[in-house]
Structure 1
Amino acid sequence: MATRSAIRETAPARLIRDLDAYRIGWELIDHARYSYWGGLRAVVVQFSRGCPHPCTYCGQRGFWTRWRHRDPVRFAAELARLHREHGVRVINFADENPTVSKKVWRTFLEALIAENVDLILVGSTRADDIVRDADILPLYKRAGWERFLLGLESTDTATLDLIRKGATTTTDREAIRLLRANGILSMATWVVGFEEERDRDYWRGLRQLLAYDPDQIQMLYVTPHRWTPYFRLAEERRVIQLDRRRWDYKHQVLATRHMPPWRVLLWFKLIEVILQARPKALARIYLNRDPRLRHAMRWYTRMGRRVWPHEILAWLRDPLTRTGPTVAAFWGRGQEREEAMAVRAAARSHPAGREAA
C-alpha cells in the first residue's frame, strides 16, 4: 500500500478456497466487443488456479499458493449459458494447468458434452497430462478442444533439469502425436537465451523441434522475474534491456555468454520460419481436411505474418545496452522467499488446503 510518505507491505489476502463462491459478472461487459480465433466472439475463463509443479521460471505456483478448481458441472453449465445467451463461440482458458486431476477434468468434459453446445476451447496444459489422458482424448475433442499450448520450454535434457520442468523429451513428443491423432492442434513453446547456449545448441534444438513436429511454435526469451526461483539462478547475469516494460518473454533481456544478441535473434527468427514454412506445415495450414482446424491455422498464420517483421523492426529500433547492471542490481532482492512464506501461511490458516483436490 502506497501513501505520500511511505510504502507499506500489507499482509497477503486470504486464500479463496472455493472459487465458485465468487460469481463472474459477465453482464458487465459487451460481449460483441471481444473476439479471438479469427473474429469469433470469445471470453477468457479460469477453471482452476495454481499449479502443483515446481518449475523454477514460473511464479504461478507461489502466487496462487495451491491448485484448486471450480465445480466441473457448474462450470460447464456456465460456458453453455455464455454460448446460448451471449453468442460466445471461443473459450480461452487462462489456467496454468487445468488438467491436474484426471477425474475432475473428465467430469467437466462429460458435462460440457451433455450441454450440446458448439464451442471452441483453447488453452494450456502439460505434455505429461496429455499422455496420461490418452484414453479420454476423444472426450477432449467432443467437448470442443481445438488447440493446446504445451510448455515444452526446451528440448535439452540438462536445461529441463535446470528449470525443474519435470518433463522428458519422449513425453513431449508423444503428447504432440496424441493430440494430432485426436484432431487437436498443438502449439509448442520453446525458450531461448539460457547463458551457455552456442550455435550448435540452437541447431540441435531445431532438429529436435522438427522431430517433435508441432502444428505451431511460440518462441520466447528466458526472463527471470523476481518472484520466481529462476531469478536466483540468473541474478548475476548481465541485463541488456533496461526498459522494464519489455520484460515480457518476447524481448531479449539478458546477455548470453557465447553469443551476441543479434545472433540470438537470428536463430530465434530462423527457427520460427523453418517450423512454420516447411512443406508439412504449409500443407496443414492450407489443406487440412478439418474446416475448423484449417480456419484456425490460417488465422494464426495471418497473425504471424504481422508479428514476425514487427518484432525484427522493434529489435532494430530499440537498441540494447552493452554495459547494463546485473539482474540483482537492476531489480533488487528476489521475492521467492515471500512467495514461499505465503504458501506456508495458507497451509497453516487452512489445514484442509493440504487435502488432495
Structure 2
Amino acid sequence: MTKIAIPEGSLFGPDNLPYGIFSTADSEPRAGVRVGDSVLDLSQLFDDIVFAEPSLNAFMAQGRARWDEVRAALKTMIDGDVADDAVYPIADVTLHLPIEVADYVDFYASENHASNLGRLFRPQNPDPLMPNWKHLPVGYHGRSSTVVTSGVDIVRPCGQRKGPNDEAPVFGPSIRLDIEAEMGFVVGVGSPMGSQITPDEFADHCFGAVILNDWSARDIQAWEYVPLGPNLGKSFATSISPWVVPLAALEAARIDTPVQDPEPLPYLKGSEKWGLDIDLAVEWNGHIVSRPPYAQMYWSPAQMLAHTSVNGAATRTGDLFGSGTISGPEKDQRGAFIELTWGGAEPVQVGDETRTFLEDGDEIAISATAPGPNGTRIGFGEVRNRILPA
C-alpha cells in the first residue's frame, strides 16, 4: 500500500482531482486522476468498466450524482493508503486526449478581445463591437476531428489568402499563424433535440473545464470569413490540456460576470454565479508574453451552453465549447498575438528575438490556475504544442 505524498503548495491537491486518460509503456489508455505528482488508476480503484475505457465519455455520461460520488470516494481514499498497483509517478505515464469530442463550438465572449479586433478591422466605426455582441454569446461551429491534446505538433496550414496588395488570391502556407488562449468546457450529460438547458442547469450538464488553444490562420481567415464566418482558418487544429478539472473543483473560483448592459434576455439569465476567476499565462518559446484574466469574460460558460441549446439543438456527451480569446484591458493581458502585436505593427520581444506571428519551430504553452478553498490554488496543467512547417 502507498500513502500519496502531496507536496506543499501543489496545484493538484485533494481539492482539485482532475481527470485524464493515461497509459504506461506496457498498458492501454484508461482513466486516471492526478494527485500531487502521482496518477491514480481509476480502473484499479473502482469496480466500474467505464474507467477502463480510452476516454472519459462513458464516465461523464453517468451524470452529476455519479461524478459527486466518485469525487467523494477519491477524497477518502487519498486520506489513507492506496494500492501500489494503482499509483504511477506522473513522469512515468503518457497522457492522451481525455475525451472523445462530439461537437465543438467556439465563442467570442471577451469584450476586450472583441473591441480590440473591432478597432483593428473597423477603425472607421465609432463602436468597435458589432450590434449583436452584447445581446448574445457570438460563436461558430468548429471541427471536432482536429481537436488534439498537449504535445501534438501543429502543422502550419495552407490555404487561400489575399493581401491588400495582391491582385488575386494566392495559395500557400499561412504567414499570419496565431493562437487564441481560451478555456474550454466539456459537456458530460447531453440534452435531447427540441429541449433547452437553462443557465441554472449548467452544473447538471457540464463535467469540467480544460485549457484550450484555438489556433488561427489570420490571413486565411481574413479572406474566407465574409459572409459565413471562420472555416479553414480555424479548422486545422484546436488543442486542449490533458487534465479535465471537474466543475466541482471550481467552487471557490466562481464570481459574478462583469455588469451586462443591456440586460440579457430571460433565457440567458440565471440565479447562480458562473463567472470564473481563472488566471492564464501564455508562454512563447519559454518566455511568458501574456497573462489573460478569465474573470474579465463578459459572457459566462453557463450562458454559452444555454445559448447553444436555446433553438432546440441537441447536446451530447463529449461536446466541447470554447470561451473565445481571453483578453484583459492591459496590453500584457491580450490572449491572441493579433492583439498583442496590434495586427503585426508592434512586434513583441520573445527572449532575444522579436515576433509578430508564429514561425516554424516556435513552441506555445498555455497554463492556468484558479482559487481553491482556504486560500489555496488549483491547476489545470498546460497545453503545449510546437509549430511544424507546412
TM-score, normalised with respect to structure 2 = 0.22
TM-score, normalised with respect to structure 1 = 0.23
Greater share of helix residues, 1 or 2?
A: 1
Greater share of strand residues, 1 or 2?
A: 2
Taking CA–CA contacts closer than 8 Å with sequence separation of 6 or more, which of the two structures ends up with the larger relative contact order? Answer: 2
